[in-house]
Each structure stands twice: as structure tokens, then as C-alpha cells.
Structure 1
Amino acid sequence: MTPPLNAAALEPLNTGALPAHWNRGIDKAAIDRAIARALEAVDRNLAHFGDAFPMPSSQGGVYPAMDNTEWTNGFWTGMLWLAYELTGAARYRDAGLRHVASFHARQRDRINVNHHDLGFLYSLSCVSGYQLTGEPLAAEAALGAARMLLERYLPGAGIIQAWGELSDPAQRGRMIIDCNLNLPLLYWASDFTGDPAFRTAADRHIEAAARHIVRPDGSTFHTFFFDPASGAPLHGKTHQGYADDSCWARGQAWGISGFPLVYRHNGDGRLVDLGKVLANYYLNRLPADGICYWDLVFTSGPEPRDSSGAAIAACGLLELARNLPLADPLRPAYERAAAGMVLTLAGDYADTSGTPGAGLLKHGVYHKPNGVGVDEACIWGDYFYLEALVRLTRTWRPYW
């Protein structure tokens, strides 16, 4: 029998504490209305931004425009590709291909690529573009980004360093849970080229994340440090959560989504088991309406919610559910929770102002400790909300 990756225990899921209306299942008409409203927002913003990109979070409910220089730019392009899949409309394809050219230039000129978020950037812009159109430039750009991501792999520690120069002592040996969703770019590159080095790095990184970022109670550290030479685990630390020993909600959502997404690529069923541990911990700590506070240490009170974390978690629950046996009672529970979460977002958190440049979802949080993007739209929240709507309407082949 294969030993578990982690000693974390699976909490029983307290379904009685989840919103009662989540048990009604998928309301197809409501999902269709939410998609129509989301596409209207994408069209408004496509006209508003042109070939520019939204900033990571809104200011006063509206995203400022920016060039292709942030770690978040791929989420907007990913929304264009999702809109193209939903409609087949050429305007989304054409805009997405213009973005592909921009992303190709970015990796060629190495513009702000000194971080692990190359997967967020290039899986959603260029792997997706290649998958949907066969555009060779998209594959070339994605492969260039994957090579840069592989440069960040520290063999001694078996991790991909998150941020900064590899020689920076403040960042040396740091991994973060967000990187789970950057790993599919490496698996794609390995399959595309036949080079096992990409896959080996991704396999070792996800095992380190499973063993050290996930705590015994099923919560997660945001970041974890290793000795880069020996690989010895050192300590966990938060960057955007409430405290080092709390559980940053969006980080837990990255784990719920990322572990089963990596299972798609490496077939290690222990990642699905671990995804269940993280999912139950998350679902058992939600407030009455089921939309998380910015840190799971909070379950009531005046602290801000994070709609973006909820959208990521919904996608993760749907990915997790599809990898569970039909007889597993958690499979329908996760499907109902994900659908309920998305419908709650659509009903109570969607931006219905019709303002050009506004996000799809209100009440997100970018970086609460630094006071950035608090109670604003976050572009990743918009992306994952639309991805979740797509997942609820079809068997969807992820860009991840």
C-alpha cells in the first residue's frame, strides 16, 4: 500500500453547517443568467481596456489599465479564452491571439519574470491559446516561460523558489502554496518536448508542498522555507494571512484546487486524498452564507470576505469531485457546495453596475496585511468565477 504524502487527518465534513440552499443542486437557469451577465462584463471590459490589461485589483470598484508587466495579466487573457469557448465568437479569439503576441514578447525580453507565477501567466494565456487554436507562437511562448520556471528549481531542496533573485538570502529556499497552480505549465512542457526535467521538478515540488505546507490538522501555511542546499525543512510563515499559525483562505483554496490539478498530470492518487483533507477543513470554517473571510481564523464579525478565494475554492471542489469515485459520499457533497458557492457569488457578490472596467465580483481581498485591494474586485477572482461557471455547464478541459 502506498503511504500517504502527509499525516494530516481528514475532518468529517459538517454538511449541516453549510447553507441549506446549497443542497438544492445546480440551478441551470441561474447559471445561464450568471454566464450571460459575465459575458456582458467581458465585452464591456474588452472595449474599455483594448489591448491593455486590468491591474491586479480594482480601485473604487474599477480596474486601472496597465501594460503586460504584472503576475496577474494571464487571468484577463484566460477570461477571453473562456468567453471564446462559451460563444465561439471571433472577437475573443482575435483579442486572445493579440495577447499571445504580447506574452511572447514578455518572455523573450524577460519582463518581470523573476518569480514562480509564470504558470498563472502562461497557462492561461498561451497553453490555452495553443490548445484552442493551434497557434505556434502560443506554444513557443509557453515553452519559453516553462524554461524560465525550471530555472527557479532548487534541486537540493526539491522546490521551485517563489520570488526574487535565486541568490537573495531573504527569499532563498521559499516555496508558497500558490505554486501548485504554476506546476501544470511544467507538465505541459514535459509532454510537449519529451524532456523529463520539467516533470521531475514539478513532481518533487508538489511532494514538498504536500509534506510541509499542509499542517497535521489540514490547514496550510502560505509559505515554507527550506535550506536550499541540504533541503532541510525550516519553518512555515505567512505572507498575506492573519498570522503564521492561521490559515489564509485564498491559500487554502489554492491547495484545494492545485493538488487535484497536479493529479491530472502525475496520477498520484495521494494528492486527491490530500485535497479532501484541505476541502473539509475549508468548508467546516465558512460563515453562514458560505463565502469565506480573508483568513479562515475568522468565521464571523466585521472582517472582509474574499470572494476571490471562494471562486478558486469552487473550481477546486469541482476538480476534486471529478477525481473521486462515484460511490464516495464526498463527491456529491463537493459538487453541491461548489454549485451553491457559485450561485451565492452570482446572487450576492456579482458586480451588476455595468461600469466599464468593473470586475465580475465585488468584495475580494488582494493583500489584507498591506491594505491593498481590500473589498475590491480581484482579477483572479473574476477568472475563477467564470471558470467555475464553465465547469458547471460542460465537461471542460482545463488550461492548467
Structure 2
Amino acid sequence: MGRVNTEKIADRERWLSAAPLTKEEIDRGLACCIAQIDANMDAFGTKFPWSATKGLEYPIIENIEWTDGFWTGLLWLAYEVTGDEKYRARAMENVSSFTNRVENKIELDHHDLGFLYTPSCVAAYKLTGDQGARRAAIMAADQLLTRWQPKGKFLQAWGPTDSAEHYRFIIDCMLNLPLLYWASEETGDPKYHDIAAMHFKTTCDNIIREDGSAFHTYYMNPETGGPDHGATRQGYSDDSAWARGQAWGMYGIPLNMRYLGDRSYLETWRAMSNYFLNRLPEDSICYWDLIFGDGSGQPRDSSAAAAAVCGMMEMAPMLDADDADAPVYAGACNAIMRSLINGYTSDDHAPLRPILYHGVYSWHSGKGVDEGNIWGDYYFMEALVRSSKRWNPYW
């Protein structure tokens, strides 16, 4: 494991003084989610939203993007919250679409099979026992294994697997690994688990810097399989800290720890989380890259904030009872969620609108800048569900 230097939390009292979310606040947040899901169900039909809004409206697409599983995940969360069969019925229609997609390998030559199939088909199987959903998710896990690079011990993100220029992985892939752990549990075949564990170790050893920040992308040497260099395709620069990448690490590490039963990564997680919290602005919602703060004129990324909260909530039961930072992380979750509920949602539930506003998809390409995005909607609702009850994660 790479060595990390953990920053002390700079303003502990800021987070310790954050009052727990009230039932009224949680219910208000969930009601906002349900109202927007209802409006969007009518608009989307059996199709899907594009990854981010354009002019605060989601374009409608076929099941071809890496983000489509988040819409189905929202339907499953709505079903869990309300018990209303209409969400289950539409989610199962989506599962049929995901089955067709994996059977015909439609736009699946990349590593994001977990983002696609965990909140859609794994969730469907966990909630309904549907065998077709289970089969589709295992097929997706098999497809993810085609990205495996045995010499470098990582799952390649994109591009031809025999291409030296594409011999790389990204921090986002930590969230794809639960699909593989689940597939091992379901099939009894250790190959999925073993590959996930090796990729996780390679990620922690290389993509996380000594100060607890993270590269977005890490290139390995195609000749030796060893480390080469870190870079970015999402953050402001190669040596800055892309906020959503930091959040992927904060959520991905405890997910992997849960499956591995390995607490040795706790300090790495703490380093990433403290780095993140120490760079939050006054309203507790990160800018799209953590080098930016109040007065920078840069956009926020509410989706990174929501994903980071899910990560802190996932880690909470793994922290020792006497961990002095545990109440700090709990307070940070309360402060961030209160800010998202009060300042980053809307009472306008017109069709095609997002649930969560002021997110960033890709600043460099100009896609989804200061817009809603579907993973932000999903992780915001997941965090609310985690706040409202004891939840069995899809991940």
C-alpha cells in the first residue's frame, strides 16, 4: 500500500456542531426526489436520461451511456421508500433493456459495468429475487473481466486492451468492483473477487498521492506492468484534486473494505476524507476541483458532495467506537446534506429536470457544467435513504 500522510481535520468544531438531520428534513428531501422521479418517469418512458442536463433538462436517449444504471437505481430507491409497484414495474422494464444490452454487447467495451449493472440488475435481484436480473448482472461481471490486464494487475478503463496509450485505470473504477465481489458470492467462483482485490490494491498503491489527494488517471508501463505516471482527464490539472475523483475514493475504499474484511485501508480512507473536508467552502459543497474555493468563480459539483456523503456513511459502521474522528464525519454528512437539501434542489418538478442542481460532468469538454447529472441525483437520494433507515446497499 502506498504511504499517505493524513492531515488533521482543520476545523473540527465546524463539523461537530452540525445538528443531526431531522426527520422533517429527510422526508422533505425524499419527497423532492419522489416528485421529480414521478415527473421524469412520464417523460422518459422506457428510455433513459443522458448523463447530464442541458439547459437544466435531461435529453432522452436509448440505453447506451455509462450512466444509465443510475436512473434505474433511482426507481429502485423510490420503490423501497414508497412500496409503490409502479416503480418496481418500470425498473423491471429497464432490467429487460439491460439484459438486451449485455447479451448484445451494446456500448460495453469499457470498465463501467458496475455503474451500469449494480444499481439496476444487482438491485433488482436483491429486492425481488428475479433470476433474469441475476443472470444479466453475472454476464456484466464477465464482460468487465475482459478489461483485466494481468501484468499490471488492473482493469483498463477504456480503449483497446492491446494499446500502449490506453494502458491505464482511473479512480472511478473503485465503484465498479462491487459487481465483481457480488458475482463471486453468487457463483462461488473466486476469480471475480480476486481480480477486484488486485485492482483495488493497484489503485491504492498508485493513484492516491502521499498527501491523501488522488489522480484521476494512472498510467502503467505496458512493458513491465509497473507504475508510470498519474494524470487527469477530469480535474483541473494533473496535480490538482478533482472533487468527484476524491469522492469516488472516499466511497470506493469502504465498499472494498467491506467485501475484503480488511481494515488496513482505513488510514488511506481517512487521509482522503480529511483532505476533502479541509477544502470545503462555507456552504460545505465542494467546487468541481478541490483547488478552488469561495471567490474563485468556479462551479460547484454537488454530485461529488453527495457521493462523498455516501462514502462517509458506508465507512461509519467500520470505525471503532472510540474513533475520535467518527463524530466529525457524521457531522460533516449532516452539514453537507442539509446544504444540498436547502440550496441545491428545487420545488420546480417539471418533466426532465434534475433532482440535484449545480453539478459538473466534464469541465474541460464543457459537458454538464453547472447542470444536474444523473449520478448526483442517485447518490443524493441514496444518502437520504441511508439517513432514513437501515439500508441494504445495492453496491
The two structures have a TM-score, normalised by structure 2, of 0.98
The separation in 1 between residues aligned to 2:13 and 2:275, in whole angstroms, is 13
Counterparts of residues 1-400 of structure 1 (less than 5 Å): 5-16=1-12, 18=14, 23-171=18-166, 173-300=167-294, 301-400=296-395
- Residue identity matched to 1:13: I
* 1:321–1:330 CA contact under 8 A, matched in 2: no
Q: Deviations over 1:181-231 (max 9, x none)?
A: 000000011111111111111011000111101000000000101123522
Superposed CA RMSD in Å reads 1.2
- Residue identity matched to 1:269: R
* 1:339–1:392 CA contact under 8 A, matched in 2: no
- Residue identity matched to 2:233: H
* 1:79–1:383 CA contact under 8 A, matched in 2: yes
The separation in 1 between residues aligned to 2:380 and 2:233, in whole angstroms, is 24
The DSSP-based 3-state class of the residue aligned with 1:24 is: coil
The separation in 2 between residues aligned to 1:137 and 1:129, in whole angstroms, is 9
* 1:321–1:332 CA contact under 8 A, matched in 2: no
Cα displacement (A) at 1:161: 0.3
Cα displacement (A) at 1:327: 1.2
Name stretches of at least 5 consecutive residues in structure 1 with no aligned partner.
none
Cα displacement (A) at 1:271: 2.3
Q: Deviations over 1:133-167 (max 9, x none)?
A: 00011001000000010111111000000112212
* 2:52–2:361 CA contact under 8 A, matched in 1: yes
* 1:161–1:174 CA contact under 8 A, matched in 2: yes
Cα displacement (A) at 1:18: 4.0
Aligned residues: percent identity? 46
Cα displacement (A) at 1:272: 2.6
The separation in 2 between residues aligned to 1:276 and 1:291, in whole angstroms, is 19
Cα displacement (A) at 1:14: 1.8
Corresponding pairs, count = 394
- Residue identity matched to 2:42: A
* 1:212–1:233 CA contact under 8 A, matched in 2: yes
The separation in 2 between residues aligned to 1:367 and 1:189, in whole angstroms, is 31
The separation in 2 between residues aligned to 1:395 and 1:204, in whole angstroms, is 30
Cα displacement (A) at 1:336: 1.4
- Residue identity matched to 2:9: L
Cα displacement (A) at 1:325: 1.1
The separation in 1 between residues aligned to 2:225 and 2:160, in whole angstroms, is 18
